[in-house]
Every structure is written in structure tokens, then in C-alpha cells.
Structure 1
Amino acid sequence: MYKSDEDRRRQMCFGRNWEPETGYRNCYRSNGFKPPPVPHEFISLAEAAIKDAQLYLDDLPSMYPDTCLVSFYKTNGRLGLHQDCDESSDSLRRGLPVVSISIGTTAIFVYRRTEHKRKLKDVWLDSGDVLIFGGKSRHIYHGVEHVGCNTFSDDLYLESKMRLGRLSLTLRQF
């Protein structure tokens, strides 16, 4: 499991391996093993979300997620502004969507179309929210500005036994 941001974010992969330094180039984890396949339940969630979004967005392409980056953010965790551009050139050219599923505490997702000068827009992502960017929006600059605390039902935390924080499932097709 990859740790970052002074141990406020941890990551693991399904399908293909991804690391900040090498992107998807190394298909094996640092321990020498391939990551497990993307769970069918994750794939079904992403495909259903894309189908629902396509009812409103004509130019959103379909995709079959073969990679899932799982990120756990502790309270006050963050992820700096970046573009998702490590996928294949074909996937990027076609604008295949990125699907992010939020579980746990609320996070403030920020984005803008260009790297510099423009004011950031923000979206508050609550537990159960799904965010999709693809098509013309595929290359937005985005990040997580802040992960809140105590914004998730105590009953759900007790039932799920999840640590306080935010779990993000980010699915894409390489």
C-alpha cells in the first residue's frame, strides 16, 4: 500500500498497478506481485453510473473499467491539483471517463479546465456520491482540497467498522 502526504492518504490498486513515480508502467507491485483483478461489483457500479450519466450527456463515451485506484484519506487529507493522464494514449484521446465513488466522510473536490490562472470550482462529495469526468472534461485539473471530520453517520461507521476518513474508488480503462 502506497502512503503519501505525511501519511494522510494511502492507496492500493486493482487491475493494473499505479504508482506516482512510474504511473502504470510497472505492472507489478513493489512486493513483486500483480494486483488482484477489479471486483465485478466495482465494475458494475461504474458501468451503471456511466449509463445513467449518458441519459443527460450525449458525448460521454462508454468504457470498461480495468483499473481501480483505491485511496483512503484520513481526516484533513488532501490531494494536490493534477490531471489523470497516465492511461493509454487511445483512452485519453477518446476521452474515456474516470468514475470516482466516495465512501465515508465528506470531501471537497476542486477542479478547473486549465492549469493556471482560473479560479477553482468545488463540489462537495458525500458518502455514496459518484463523480464522472470524461469526454470534453476528461483532462480537467482536479484534486481533493479537504476531507472533513464527523460528516458520516456514526451508525454506518459502527456497522461497517470503517476507520474515520474517506475511501475513494477511482475506476478507469487503461
Structure 2
Amino acid sequence: MARLKVRGFEIHKGFLAAEAQRELIQALRPVLRAAPLFSPEVPGGGQMSVRMTSAGTYGWFSDKSGYRYADRHPSGQAWPEIPAEVLKIWAKLIDRDRMPDCCLFNYYGEGARMGLHQDKDEADFSYPVVSISLGDDGLLRVGGTSRKEKTESIWLNSGDVVVMGGDARLAYHGVDRIRFRSSRLLPKGGRVNLTLRVVT
């Protein structure tokens, strides 16, 4: 397992072995049954190409009125609990007593992408965001705290885990594209990205 730093992003390559990845996918299936994937609207109109859902006390949400956290799925149901298998990854990497309030589940199908953005809807930026990649390779682009700063890109593979903390906590980042069907982890292809966040 290699550990890299790109613009302050701490990248743990191959953090999850193949069997651990399969176990994690199985642990996430009840989350998807309880809180099915949906395509959020964006404030400027249209919908994201990434489908998402959440687990935990809060889930990240977007519609015409803006970006925010909500305590319920769009169906009106409370979000399911974050699986223990996911929380173990946070506990291994983050030396803090606080556990995350939200596990945001993003699914990238063929052609999906995520534009450059900051994770800034949380109340306390002293806590890092932990990002887990499963399935197809994704091209992560990272910059600084201003959109004007230069960016760098790195391919994330299934089992990689990224910690965004310190100076990188409010850095702009996004996923430019995925290599569809580059992994056999998901039967229908695609990339799953889990991000663990302390919200309140």
C-alpha cells in the first residue's frame, strides 16, 4: 500500500484489498434498499450526472433552492445508519473521537462526472473528509482554495482512500471522468465514491 500526497490530499493507494472491497459493497446494499439512489437538481437548473444517496444522521442534498444537508431521504424516510464496515475505515485513518454524521454515496455511471467544487456545507472544517473509491477508475482533479489556482490530476482505483484535511480541507476538487468497466467489482460497471463527513 502506497501513500501519496497531491496538493495536500493524502491518498492511500490500495488501502482496501479485493476481499474488503467486496465485503463493503455487500454492506452497502441495505443502504440502497432503504434509501434508493436519486439524481439531485442543481440550483442553476438541470440535474447532476452522478446519482446519490446517504447514510447517517444527515444526507447531502441539492435542489433549486441550494446545497445543504437534510435529515431525510427525498422519499421522506430517515437515512439508514452508516454501516460498521464503513466506520471502521474512518477509525483507522482519523485520530479523533468524533465519528462522521454522514456517508454520502455517489454512483458514477458511464459518462458521469463531478465538476470542481469545495466541500463547505459542514459546520466545522477542522474535521477531514474521507473519500473511498470502489469500482471503476476515476480521474480526480485537485486544486487549491481558489478556482484560479492550477490543478493536478491523479487516477483513483478501486480500494483507494483519500483524506482531505488541513490545508486541503477546502480545496477545489472534482472527477473529470471514469474508465467505464475498468473494474469487475460492480456487475454493471461504474464507480462508487463514499465520502464521510462530520456535519454539525
Q: Which runs of 5+ in 2 are unaligned?
A: 1-36, 41-45
Taking the aligned partners of 1:29 and 1:6, their CA distance within structure 2 comes to: 17
- What's the CA shift for 1:7? 6.7
TM-score, normalised to structure 1's length?
Answer: 0.80
TM-score, normalised to structure 2's length?
Answer: 0.70
Taking the aligned partners of 1:116 and 1:18, their CA distance within structure 2 comes to: 22
User: 1:2 and 2:46 equivalent?
Assistant: no
Taking the aligned partners of 1:40 and 1:27, their CA distance within structure 2 comes to: 20
Q: What are the Cα deviations for residues 54-85 of structure 1, in whole angstroms up to 9, with x where unaligned?
A: xxxxxxx6641121000000122100110001
User: 1:70 and 2:114 equivalent?
Assistant: no
Taking the aligned partners of 2:97 and 2:152, their CA distance within structure 1 comes to: 26
Which of 17, 31, 47 is matched with 2:75 structurally?
31
Taking the aligned partners of 1:167 and 1:70, their CA distance within structure 2 comes to: 7
- Equivalent position amino acid for 1:14 in 2: A
Name the structure 2 match of 1:171.
196
User: 1:101 and 2:132 equivalent?
Assistant: yes
Equivalent residue of 2:91, what SS?
Answer: helix
- Equivalent position amino acid for 1:2 in 2: F
Which of 55, 58, 64 is matched with 1:14 structurally?
55
| Map 1:37-52 → 2, pairs under 5 A | 37-50=81-94
Name the structure 2 match of 1:81.
116
Do 1:63 and 1:97's aligned partners in 2 also have CA atoms closer than 8 Å? no
- Equivalent position amino acid for 2:191 in 1: R
- What's the CA shift for 1:137? 1.3
Kindly tell me the number of residue pairs found equivalent between the two proteins: 154
Taking the aligned partners of 1:6 and 1:73, their CA distance within structure 2 comes to: 14
- In structure 2, the CA distance between the partners of 1:150 and 1:22, relative to structure 1 (3 Å rule), is closer
Identity among equivalent pairs (%): 34
RMSD: 2.0
Equivalent residue of 2:68, what SS?
Answer: coil
